[in-house]
Amino acid sequence: MNTPEKEKMTKTEHLQKIKAECERLLAFSEKATISNYFICEGRCEAGWRSTIAAIDCIEDMAEHIGNHQASLIIAAWPTELLQ
Protein backbone atom coordinates (compact mmCIF):
# COMPACT_ATOMS: atom_id res chain seq x y z
CA MET A 1 0.00 0.00 0.00
CA ASN A 2 1.47 3.36 -1.04
CA THR A 3 1.56 6.19 1.44
CA PRO A 4 1.03 9.76 0.22
CA GLU A 5 4.74 10.47 0.88
CA LYS A 6 5.82 7.65 -1.44
CA GLU A 7 3.45 8.84 -4.18
CA LYS A 8 4.99 12.33 -4.11
CA MET A 9 8.58 11.10 -4.45
CA THR A 10 10.24 11.63 -7.82
CA LYS A 11 12.41 8.96 -9.42
CA THR A 12 15.50 10.98 -8.52
CA GLU A 13 14.42 11.30 -4.89
CA HIS A 14 13.63 7.60 -4.76
CA LEU A 15 17.05 6.69 -6.16
CA GLN A 16 18.74 9.01 -3.68
CA LYS A 17 16.91 7.37 -0.78
CA ILE A 18 17.93 3.92 -2.01
CA LYS A 19 21.54 5.07 -2.34
CA ALA A 20 21.51 6.62 1.14
CA GLU A 21 20.17 3.39 2.61
CA CYS A 22 22.87 1.33 0.87
CA GLU A 23 25.53 3.73 2.15
CA ARG A 24 24.08 3.48 5.68
CA LEU A 25 24.11 -0.30 5.53
CA LEU A 26 27.70 -0.33 4.25
CA ALA A 27 28.82 1.95 7.07
CA PHE A 28 27.04 -0.29 9.57
CA SER A 29 28.60 -3.44 8.12
CA GLU A 30 32.08 -1.92 8.43
CA LYS A 31 31.48 -1.57 12.18
CA ALA A 32 29.87 -4.99 12.57
CA THR A 33 31.58 -7.77 14.45
CA ILE A 34 33.23 -10.63 12.58
CA SER A 35 30.40 -13.01 13.53
CA ASN A 36 27.79 -10.67 12.07
CA TYR A 37 29.90 -10.19 8.94
CA PHE A 38 29.94 -13.88 8.12
CA ILE A 39 26.16 -13.95 8.03
CA CYS A 40 26.39 -11.78 4.94
CA GLU A 41 29.76 -13.18 3.75
CA GLY A 42 30.41 -10.11 1.63
CA ARG A 43 27.44 -10.68 -0.63
CA CYS A 44 25.38 -7.94 0.97
CA GLU A 45 28.21 -5.44 0.66
CA ALA A 46 28.63 -6.38 -3.00
CA GLY A 47 24.92 -5.83 -3.62
CA TRP A 48 24.91 -2.47 -1.86
CA ARG A 49 28.02 -1.31 -3.71
CA SER A 50 26.55 -2.47 -7.04
CA THR A 51 23.33 -0.60 -6.34
CA ILE A 52 25.24 2.59 -5.48
CA ALA A 53 27.33 2.27 -8.65
CA ALA A 54 24.22 1.74 -10.79
CA ILE A 55 22.51 4.81 -9.33
CA ASP A 56 25.64 6.90 -9.89
CA CYS A 57 25.77 5.68 -13.49
CA ILE A 58 22.11 6.51 -14.08
CA GLU A 59 22.62 10.00 -12.66
CA ASP A 60 25.67 10.55 -14.86
CA MET A 61 23.84 9.33 -17.95
CA ALA A 62 20.83 11.49 -17.21
CA GLU A 63 23.00 14.57 -16.87
CA HIS A 64 24.79 13.83 -20.15
CA ILE A 65 21.57 13.02 -21.97
CA GLY A 66 19.90 16.09 -20.48
CA ASN A 67 22.72 18.36 -21.61
CA HIS A 68 22.68 16.77 -25.06
CA GLN A 69 18.92 17.21 -25.36
CA ALA A 70 19.20 20.86 -24.24
CA SER A 71 21.81 21.47 -26.95
CA LEU A 72 19.53 19.98 -29.60
CA ILE A 73 16.60 22.13 -28.50
CA ILE A 74 18.73 25.28 -28.42
CA ALA A 75 20.06 24.48 -31.90
CA ALA A 76 16.49 24.07 -33.16
CA TRP A 77 15.55 27.47 -31.65
CA PRO A 78 18.23 29.98 -32.67
CA THR A 79 17.89 33.47 -31.21
CA GLU A 80 16.54 34.75 -34.54
CA LEU A 81 13.35 32.79 -33.87
CA LEU A 82 12.91 34.26 -30.39
CA GLN A 83 11.21 37.59 -29.81
- Could you read off the pLDDT of 2-31 as tens digits, one per residue? 445 546 777 778 888 998 998 988 888 777
Give the confidence band of 33 by pLDDT, cuts at 50, 70, 90. Answer: low
- Pseudo-torsion of CA 80, 81, 82, 83, nearest 10°? 80
Give the model's pLDDT for residue 76.
85
62 falls within a domain? yes
77 falls within a domain? yes
Tell me the helices (H) and strands (E) count for the chain, helix number first. Answer: 4, 0
Tally of domains within the chain: 1
16 falls within a domain? yes
Cβ contacts of residue 49 below 8 Å, gap of 6+? 22, 26
Note whether 76 and 68 are within 8 A (CB): no
- Please state the rounded mean pLDDT for residues 40-67: 80
- Please state the rounded mean pLDDT for residues 50-66: 80
Cβ contacts of residue 20 below 8 Å, gap of 6+? none
59 falls within a domain? yes
Q: Is the pLDDT of residue 83 over 70?
A: no
Q: Which domain holds residue 68?
A: 10-81
Please give the share of the chain, as a percent, with pLDDT higher than 70. 73
